[in-house]
């Protein structure tokens, strides 16, 4: 189920077929038990209204969950860019040789973080994650000798900045793993199935108005597609773009190109 939710288009197709089948079953098998007296028609209307209202609330609640997670991922991408940019500046507090190497490692690490947002394949992401872990160890090992030998505010500032760089990646990864609970999806789909069955149950002639009664399953399927698309950080149409990281990369590259070469002796 978790891997299925990574494919919003497949969610749309399956939802539309399932909900259309529910409406057809409600009309084909359950409508024979429908009474035409006034009280039964009124009761059916009340039940349909209550079910559709509940379905709308559940869809709205789930959509809000997806939007919240999407906004968090965007915020964390900005935080990553700020952390890397800040530590790049603090690297100047290190000894010259260590500062230069730290900046080189930070630029490579920045490239990996941008690739993280642009990569969709699961295998590629696992490979990239392994490379990111190695890059993080290299960054920490580069500043570790200086931190161990210097016990002042400068070393604490450099260590704190590097800690923010490493932690921001962990927060981002946790946010990408934080998806809408499967239980919420199951509840929403179950209510949608019953709601479409009730629509079919109340239909006067499902066969003559087949296209009309397919509109409701289509609308619900589009809502499911949108929720799954926003909630899927990897394969959705609506994706988190590394705008801040790319802006930082361009800024740092321009800064490096503007530095005149050291005069030869």
Report the mean per-residue pLDDT for the chain: 86
Whole-angstrom distance, CA of residue 89 vs CA of residue 166:
16
Q: Which helix (H) or strand (E) holds 43?
A: helix 38-90
Whole-angstrom distance, CA of residue 242 vs CA of residue 152:
35
Q: Work out the average pLDDT over 178-189.
A: 92
pLDDT for residue 265 is more than 50: no
Domain that residue 175 falls in: 4-253
User: Does a structural domain hold residue 261?
Assistant: no
Whole-angstrom distance, CA of residue 245 vs CA of residue 230:
21
User: Does a structural domain hold residue 264?
Assistant: no
* CA 59 to chain CA centroid, nearest Å: 17
User: Does a structural domain hold residue 263?
Assistant: no
User: Does a structural domain hold residue 260?
Assistant: no
For the chain, how many structural domains are there in total? Answer: 1
User: Does a structural domain hold residue 93?
Assistant: yes
Q: Work out the average pLDDT over 79-93.
A: 94
pLDDT at 150: 81
pLDDT at 209: 63
Q: Work out the average pLDDT over 12-24.
A: 91
Q: How much of the chain, in percent, has pLDDT values that exceed 90?
A: 53
Confidence at 163, pLDDT banded by 50, 70, 90: very high
Nearest to 239 by CA among 129, 120, 128: 120
pLDDT at 264: 45
List CB contacts of 199: < 8 A, sequence separation 6 or more.
23, 26, 48, 213, 216
User: Does a structural domain hold residue 265?
Assistant: no
* CA 110 to chain CA centroid, nearest Å: 20
**Least confidently predicted of 102-116, 131-145, 200-214:** 200-214
pLDDT at 255: 82
pLDDT for residue 167 is more than 50: yes
Contact 169, 113 (CB under 8 A): yes
Confidence at 41, pLDDT banded by 50, 70, 90: low
Whole-angstrom distance, CA of residue 114 vs CA of residue 59:
33
pLDDT at 234: 81
User: Does a structural domain hold residue 85?
Assistant: yes
Q: Work out the average pLDDT over 197-224.
A: 78
pLDDT for residue 37 is more than 60: no
pLDDT at 64: 95
| Full DSSP string of 116-131 | HHH---HHHHHHHHHH
User: Does a structural domain hold residue 138?
Assistant: yes
pLDDT for residue 78 is more than 50: yes
**Least confidently predicted of 81-90, 117-126, 187-196, 202-211:** 202-211
Q: Which helix (H) or strand (E) holds 164?
A: helix 153-177
Whole-angstrom distance, CA of residue 242 vs CA of residue 119:
11
Whole-angstrom distance, CA of residue 139 vs CA of residue 49:
60
Whole-angstrom distance, CA of residue 116 vs CA of residue 245:
11
């Amino acid at each position: 189920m978790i891997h299925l939710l990574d494919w919003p288009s497949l969610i749309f197709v399956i939802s539309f077929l399932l909900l259309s089948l529910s409406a057809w079953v409600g009309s084909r098998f359950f409508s024979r038990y429908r009474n035409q007296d006034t009280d039964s028609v009124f009761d059916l209307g009340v039940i349909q209204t209550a079910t559709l209202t509940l379905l709308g609330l559940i869809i709205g609640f789930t959509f809000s969950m997806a939007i919240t997670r999407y906004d968090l991922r965007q915020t964390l991408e900005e935080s990553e860019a700020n952390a890397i940019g800040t530590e790049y500046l603090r690297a100047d507090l290190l000894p010259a040789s260590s500062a230069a190497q730290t900046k080189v490692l930070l630029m490579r690490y920045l490239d990996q973080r941008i690739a993280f947002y642009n990569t969709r394949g699961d295998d590629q992401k696992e490979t990239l994650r392994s490379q990111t872990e190695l890059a993080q160890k290299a960054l920490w090992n580069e500043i570790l000798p200086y931190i161990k030998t210097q016990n002042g505010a400068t070393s604490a500032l450099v260590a704190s900045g590097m800690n923010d760089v490493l932690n921001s990646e962990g927060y981002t990864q946790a946010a990408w793993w934080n998806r809408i609970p499967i239980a919420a999806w199951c509840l929403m789909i179950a209510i949608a199935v019953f709601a479409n069955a009730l629509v079919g149950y109340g239909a006067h002639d499902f066969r003559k108005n087949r296209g009309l009664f397919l509109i409701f399953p289509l609308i619900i399927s589009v809502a499911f597609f949108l929720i799954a698309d926003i909630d899927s950080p990897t394969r959705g149409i609506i994706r988190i773009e590394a705008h801040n990281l790319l802006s930082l990369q361009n800024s740092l590259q321009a800064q490096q190109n503007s530095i005149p070469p050291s005069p030869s002796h």
